[in-house]
Structure 1
Amino acid sequence: MKPYKIPESVLVLIHSADLQVLLIERADKPGYWQSVTGSLDAPDEPLAATAARELFEETGIVADGERIVLRDWQLSNIYEIYPMWRHRYAPGVTQNTEHVFSVEVPRDIAITLSPREHINHAWLPYLEAADRCFSSSNAEVILQLPRRIR
């Protein structure tokens, strides 16, 4: 039996210097667009390590700490886990704590999606990206982008 997911995750907002945001479309729910997200693999996995791992797994982007630098927003959101995904968590777990990171990349960076997880990607102006996200917490983070990077 597959172990239950840990109800603690990261959200990695990928953006360009000119406030374009990269969204990816879920393979298990076509039409559901989001930023990179993922749960900790172990309770003691550092959040920055989770963010770097998920960024690479879902897009092929490597946060090397020099050219591509993850920024920890020191922001956490607690939200209700969508009922359709609760079976992935231990019985009775209904909330997840999500920690926000961002990474600025050039728009021409190569994107390599994990086909098991995502089927498409798009660069959008940040307001349009916020509108396209299915997750309200993801949209709220995108709307904070202009003041977070200036």
Structure 2
Amino acid sequence: MYKIPVSVLVVIHTIDLQVLLLERADHPGYWQSVTGSQDPGETLLQTATREVSEETGLSTADYELTDWRIENRYEIYQEWRWRYGPDVKFNTEHVFGLCLSDITPIKISIREHLNYIWLPWQQAAEQVFSSSNADAILNLPAHVQFAQTDT
């Protein structure tokens, strides 16, 4: 079964802007935030919740998960196109943030990831391989500021 070319990117961070990154098992040295494709019948929020749980062991019910209302459309890397239908070349990614009060130990999915690290947001943006992931992390201070003034 092919993947749906719709995905989520979840930037997991602390109030003081430490960002969780995961190292891909299928591509050592490639660091990223939580990502994953939407399953048939899922809402984007359900996809974000499922991916966070699968990749970190965290429950989004315990933290503040927000839809940043950012949508990125990008060409799927050639090495991963086999996962999609024969004519699919582009993916649409929806960005979410998950705010934790403090750095929290996580349980990585060893099938998907080799390791995890917490980094200050600027370092995290430099570490990730995906430009849309870097852009999302660079926008983190604005989202945290907005959330703090919105309450």
Q: Do Structure 1 and Structure 2 share a fold, with TM-score over 0.5?
A: yes
What are the Cα deviations for residues 31-90 of structure 1, in whole angstroms up to 9, with x where unaligned? 000000000111x310000000000000001011xx412100111100010000000000
Select 2:28's aligned residue among 20, 30, 33.
30
1:19 match: 17
Residues 46-61 of structure 1 aligned to structure 2 (within 5 Å): 46-61=43-58
Q: Which amino acid aligns with 1:16?
A: T
Give the structure-2-normalised TM-score: 0.94
Q: Which amino acid aligns with 2:3?
A: K
Q: 2:49 is paired with a residue of what secondary structure?
A: helix
1:114 match: 109
Identity of aligned residues (%): 57
Structure-2 separation of matches of 1:106 and 1:82:
34
Select 2:42's aligned residue among 32, 40, 45.
45
Q: Which amino acid aligns with 2:85?
A: A
1:93 match: 88
Matched residue pairs, number? 145
Give the structure-1-normalised TM-score: 0.94
Structure 1: unaligned runs, 5 residues or longer: none
Which one has a larger percent helix, Structure 1 or Structure 2?
Answer: 2
RMSD over aligned Cα atoms: 0.8
